[in-house]
Amino acid sequence: MEEEKLTAFLEGLTESLLKELPDNPVQHAHSYCAHLLENEKQAGRSSGSKSRSIMAVPPAYLKAFFDSAKAINSHIRPQDTIKAIIRETCSLLRCERATLFTFDGRLNALLVLQSVGKQSSLIRVVPGEGIAGTVFKEGEPLRIPDAYEDPRFDQSHDKETDFKTKSILAVPVMEYSATEGDAKTIGVLQAINKLGGEGEDQAFTSLDELLLENLAQYAGIAVRNAEMYRVVEQRELQSRALLEVINSLKPDLGTQSVIISITTCAKRLVNAQRSSVYLLDQPNDALWTVATDTGQEIRIGREQGLAGACAKCGEIVNVPDAYEDERFDQSIDKSGGDRFRTKSVLCLPIKDERGAVLGVIQMINREEEGILGAFHWLSENNKTIGVFDEEDVNLMETFCSFVGQRLQHSELTAPCGQGTPKLREAEKAWLEPKPVKHAKDRRSSLHDTVIEEAPEEEG
């Protein structure tokens, strides 16, 4: 009977939250309880019967639930939000571990954001596969008393981490639309190994399922708020970086500093692994790089590769998988010697005020971090390669417009008769060693990453 009362109460509360979509869900829940209790008291007084107050539900359950909901929604930063969801899930359900999967549309996969306990690697799950994948695809909870008896359970993660999964409770994390009135699954919240009173293993109950389903509603709101916060924070950082590089492209900067600054900023703006600036050498019908992240000099034909295709048509070239595009020159990867593999490529033309192509900026391998980027424990090996999206393209178009204005009057693209001696001069200057000002840390400004030109001696 108590479980039925709790079910009815939580279902009513959830319906109220979805209908009202309050800015403060916890405060709304408290008001809902007070309103419900007052209605029951009035009904009891008018009928003369004994009130079936919601307070008849064991207070420990309600208090623990609202305490967990409050803890989850008290954070806005992604790190703190995810940690709170995991911590409160383990506390509320008395389980050994908990895992939160969120869906990444660009990768078409569920990603583990954080788990209690040691993690050896980033886990990706295809929708429809495994326990979490099944819950995500079907949108229904799964309660499994013995994981190894279920064919959908992937035992490989246990073997990698030397952990034994016994019981599992997994529920979908939903996002509700205030305008369309429908819901979509954005992740899966999973509890692992229910603990009994003395710490012994037990199976999850229907009450556990009910509590976790409702806690997942709060988790969904918290995750989306945290993601919005991360996006706003990232855009602010991008705007600052864009403004910083614009200010750094001053006429008195030398050739090498200008190009290094352009290359470094372009990479940072869209989280690319590598970036290159190709300049157009019209007399020799070629493209050549002035500076790259790897220190390599690359000269290609004007229409060669993806950068050449971009220079030829003067349009953006955005390729999600370079090896699936016949224009991509695979020899560059093979000649590098560092086992680097190009996947996603974004090329944008650099144009002057008249629209003539001066060169190409090429970005390689967007590091797909999403909300994962907030976690310091993600190593370089754990980061996944995504594709460059419309937002990346718009940002880089703005960047290229400023770069074009700067390069239009630069010695790198200025015509100097046959053989373009200015171009040769810049090429030579790039290869000569220069004093380098090293950045103290990755948080330093772009000015700290610009190579300083050797000052002329006073004569």
Average pLDDT over residues 86-102: 91
Residues 270 and 442: their CA atoms lie apart, in Å, by 16
Which pLDDT tens digit goes with each residue over 115-156? 444 444 567 889 999 999 999 999 999 999 999 999 999 998
Cα separation of 29 and 84, whole Å? 19
For residues 314 and 309, give the distance between their C-alpha atoms in angstroms, rounded to a whole number.
Answer: 8
The amino acid present at 99, given as its one-letter code, is: T
Give residue 11's pLDDT.
64
Describe the chain by its helix, strand, coil percentages, rounded to 5. 45, 20, 35
Reduced to 3 states, what is the DSSP secondary structure of residue 135? helix
Count of CB atoms situated within 10 Å of the CB of 194: 22
Q: Name the least confident of 136-145, 318-327, 382-391.
A: 382-391
Which has the higher per-residue pLDDT, 161 or 409? 161
Q: What is the CA radius of gyration of the chain?
A: 29
* Residue length of the chain: 459
**CB-based contacts of 266: which residues, under 8 Å, 6+ apart?**
272, 275, 277, 361, 363, 396, 399
Whole-Å CA distances, 117 to 125, 129, 201: 19, 23, 17
Domain presence at residue 159:
yes
Residue of 137 and 268 predicted with greater confidence: 137
Q: In CATH, what number is assigned to the domain containing residue 63? A: 3.30.450.40
Tell whether 312 and 343 lie within a shared domain. Answer: yes
Mean pLDDT within 235-263: 71
237: pLDDT strictly greater than 60: yes
Structural domain contains residue 170? yes
Domain end point (choices 174, 195, 229)? 229
Q: What is the pLDDT of residues 172-192, one digit of tens each?
A: 998 876 555 677 899 999 999
pLDDT in tens, 337-380: 667 889 999 999 999 888 889 889 999 998 865 444 444 333 34
For residue 11, being part of any structural domain is answered with: no
Q: Are residues 299 and 266 in the same domain?
A: yes
Angle (CA) 316-317-322 rounded to 5° is: 165
**Percentage of residues in the chain having pLDDT higher than 90:** 22
Same domain, 225 and 318: no
pLDDT band of 162, cuts 50, 70, 90: confident
- The reply to whether 199 and 320 lie within a common domain is no
pLDDT digits (tens, 9 = 90+) for 352-364: 888 889 889 999 9
Average pLDDT over every residue of 431-440: 38
The conformation of residue 22, written as its DSSP 8-state character, comes to -
Q: What is the mean pLDDT of residues 298-325?
A: 89
pLDDT confidence band for 87 (50 / 70 / 90):
very high
- Which residue has tokens 């997994």? 170
Q: In which residue are the tokens 């300049």 written? A: 279
* Residue 15 placed within a domain: no
pLDDT band at 158 (very low <50, low <70, confident <90, very high): confident
- For residue 49, being part of any structural domain is answered with no
Predicted confidence at residue 302, as pLDDT, reads 84
Beta bridge partners of 367: 385
Q: Which of 113, 153, 150, 146 is nearest to 131 (CA)?
A: 153
Average pLDDT over the chain reads 73
Same domain, 200 and 260: no
pLDDT of residue 110: 87
Do both 438 and 306 map to the same domain? yes
Contact (Cβ atoms closer than 8 angstroms) between residue 430 and residue 290: yes
Q: Domain limits at 419?
A: 249-449
Shared-domain flag, residues 253 and 207: no
Residue 207 covered by a domain: yes
Tell whether 407 is covered by a domain.
Answer: yes
What does the pLDDT read at residue 114? 46
Verify that 258 and 399 share a domain, yes or no.
yes
78-93 and 59-72 are packed helices; what angle lies between their axes, rounded to 10 degrees?
170
191-212: pLDDT as tens digits: 999 987 665 678 998 888 888 9
Residues 140 and 255 in one domain: no
Q: Decide the pairing of beta strands 357-368 and 345-351.
A: antiparallel
- Judge contact between 117 and 135, C-beta under 8 A: no
Q: Which helix (H) or strand (E) holds 418?
A: none
Quote the pLDDT of residue 449.
25
Query: Residue 31 has what pLDDT?
Result: 65
- Cβ burial of 337 (10 Å; 0-12, 13-18, 19+) is exposed
- Is pLDDT of 419 > 50? no
The verdict on residue 171 lying in a domain is yes
Q: Give the end of a domain, one of 195, 229, 263.
A: 229
11 compared with 184, residue with greater pLDDT: 184
Distance, CA of 225 to CA of 19 (rounded, Å): 18
Cα–Cα separations (whole angstroms), residue 398 to 44, 185, 224, 392:
67, 35, 28, 10
- Residue 70, strand partner residues: none
- Of all residues in the chain, what percent carry a pLDDT higher than 70? 62
User: Is residue 130 domain-shared with residue 188, that is, in the same domain?
Assistant: yes
Q: How confident is the model at residue 450 (pLDDT cuts 50, 70, 90)?
A: very low
Same domain, 349 and 417: yes
Verify that 393 and 292 share a domain, yes or no. Answer: yes
Query: Structural domain tally of the chain?
Result: 2
**What integer pLDDT is reported at residue 67 of this predicted model?**
87
Whether 4 shows a pLDDT value over 70: the answer reads no
